[in-house]
Amino acid sequence: MNASRDTTDGEHDGHARSRVAALRAVLAIGVSVFAIDLWLPSSLVLGSLLILPVLASAWLQSPRFTNVVTVACAFAGIFGAVIGLGGGATSPPTTVALQMACSLFVILVSGQLALMRIRSEVRLDRSRELVATALRSIADAVVTTDRNDLVTLVNGPAQQLLGADAAAARGRPLDRVVRLERDPQTMTPADPRAPRRRLLVVTEGGQEIRRPVEVTSSPIVGVRGEDFGRVLVLRDASDVVAFEERMRELAYRDGLTGLANRRSLEERLDLELKHARRARVRLGVLFLDLDKFKAINDTYGHRAGDQLLVAVGERLSAALREADTVARISGDEFCVLVPEVGSREDLGVVANKLLDAVVRPVVLEGVAVPISPSIGAALYPDDAGSADELLSCADAAMYRAKGLGGAGWAVHDGATQRWSPAAHAAVEDPRRRPNDARSSANDAPTAQRTPAPHEGATTGNSIENGTRNDR
């Protein structure tokens, strides 16, 4: 802003010096022509030369000053002619009068032409000033160039965004002032007039920083179609990008637990199935539903219920590999994708690990609340060949586990569901608090470990040798 103010002050000083020089030129020309006209009063040409100071006055762009000069030159022409007649001019009086009339006509017409030129220049200057003021006042960063792509204007927001001084940028090639790179994460809009997302490269503290910006480039075309350059409008898109990332996160993430949501799970499942078909490996799917979650909500409130869901999500994530996917698909239902699982036994190991991770009590409102899940598991391609069928098989196995008392897991084997009978344990009703006098040590919640997978799950034929030893 200081640079812009210094530039404006310099322009004002230049205009003041030009006005003084023009004023001196008008006076010098007027006096010289009048003196010569007095010396040779019969000369029509020299009398007509009084139009020169009139035309010169137009440079000052002051209608009042031009009118004064015009009137002064007209009186000077008349005065010179009168003196010439009184001094014994060689030309007849009629000729001298005609010369004077012609001189007055030329002077007055020249004065009117000069006024028209002044008014046009004033309107043009005001229009330019208005455009320049608008470009400087606009909130977006604006950079204009000439037809050779040399920078002609950089407004205040552009100076801040680019970290460039307006005076230093003026006259430089545009690509040296505004460095733009294509943003690989954005698509080119179908409408060429729409803003395009680019990465603006700026240097701060000796380091290059890339900021997302929306760029609109438009040609500056005259009324006759001539090319005067172009105007570049840049808008900082950092907030827009952050908002888009937030919307994308909300679209694919559960807002409460931060886990993947149903939409994200479905897309991930499609990708994992394609990979499993291509690599000829198995894919495991587990459905997990919390037992007696409604009773916990009714007893401790929905806020405590939300805390419980967050805790379960964290436990599931901690018990899985980075390659696995855990999603909250609704209420108290979770789904887990286990890619490249070796066999049905390995899937049972995963289910048992998730069971052990979840059955630990959760402290809600200062009370250790016992929880347990019912888990159903299904295997691709042994149980189903499509995403919907695979989810249905896991869901059916989960309801089988819940129907047998919960706190356990069941594995679908295609035609029937196999249940691990000793996997579940009696779980205390959460509405009976541990410090309740009616509770006793005999009915305290317990959790038994699931037996070895071969006790409750059928063994499927492996597509490829090898098991998940990292479990």
Q: pLDDT per residue over 423-449, tens digit each?
A: 444 344 444 444 443 333 333 333 333
pLDDT at 42 over 80: no
Is 465 a residue whose pLDDT tops 50? Answer: no
- Segment 134-154 shows an average pLDDT of 86
pLDDT digits (tens, 9 = 90+) for 268-286: 999 999 999 999 999 999 9
Q: How far apart are CA 43 and CA 226, in angstroms?
A: 46
Instruction: Please give the share of the chain, as a percent, with pLDDT higher than 70.
Output: 68
Q: Name residue 284's beta-bridge partners.
A: 338, 379
Among the listed residues 293, 378, 288, the one whose alpha carbon sits nearest the alpha carbon of residue 333: 288
Domains annotated for the chain, with CATH where assigned, are 2-137 (no CATH), 141-241 (3.30.450.20), 253-455 (3.30.70.270)
Looking at per-residue pLDDT, the higher value among 25 and 425 belongs to: 25
pLDDT at 448: 33
Residue 444 has a pLDDT of 30
Res. 1 pLDDT band, cuts 50 70 90: very low
pLDDT at 286 (0 to 100):
96
What pLDDT, in 10s, does the model give residues 83-127? 665 555 555 667 667 767 777 777 788 878 888 888 888 888 888
The whole-angstrom separation of Cα 131 and Cα 127 is 6
CA dist list (Å): 66 to 12, 20, 31, 62: 21, 15, 16, 6
- For the chain, the three-class secondary structure string (H helix, E strand, C coil) is CHHHHHHHHHHHHHHHHHHHHHHHHHHHHHHHHHHHHHHCCCCHHHHHCCHHHHHHHHHHCCHHHHHHHHHHHHHHHHHHHHHHHHCCCCCCHHHHHHHHHHHHHHHHHHHHHHHHHHHHHHHHHHHHHHHHHHHHHCCCEEEEECCCCEEEEECHHHHHHHCCCHHHHCCCEHHHHCCEEECCCCCCCCCCCCCEEEEEEEEECCEEEEEEEEEEEEEEECCCCCEEEEEEEEEECHHHHHHHHHHHHHHHECCCCCCECHHHHHHHHHHHHHHHHHHCCEEEEEEEEECCHHHHHHHHCHHHHHHHHHHHHHHHHHHCCCCCEEEEEECCEEEEEEEEECCHHHHHHHHHHHHHHHCCCEEECCEEECCCEEEEEEEECCCCCCHHHHHHHHHHHHHHHHHCCCCEEEEECCCCEEECCCCCCCCCCCCCCCCCCCCCHHHCCCCCCCCCHHHCCCCCCCCCCCCCCCC
Give the pLDDT band (50/70/90) at residue 25. Answer: low
Query: Percentage of the chain with pLDDT > 90?
Result: 26
213-246 residue pLDDT tens: 888 888 888 888 888 899 888 888 888 888 877 8
Model confidence at 398, in pLDDT bands (50, 70, 90)?
very high
Average pLDDT, the chain: 75
State residue 18's pLDDT score.
65
> Amino acid identity, residue 247?
M
- Compute the distance between CA of residue 26 and CA of residue 13 in angstroms, rounded to an integer: 20
Q: Say if residue 381 is preceded by a cis peptide, omega within 30 of 0.
A: yes
Look at residue 460 in the predicted model and tell me its pLDDT.
32
Could you read off the pLDDT of 311-341 as tens digits, one per residue? 999 999 999 998 999 999 989 999 999 999 9
Instruction: Give the separation between CA 81 and CA 96, rounded to whole angstroms.
Output: 7
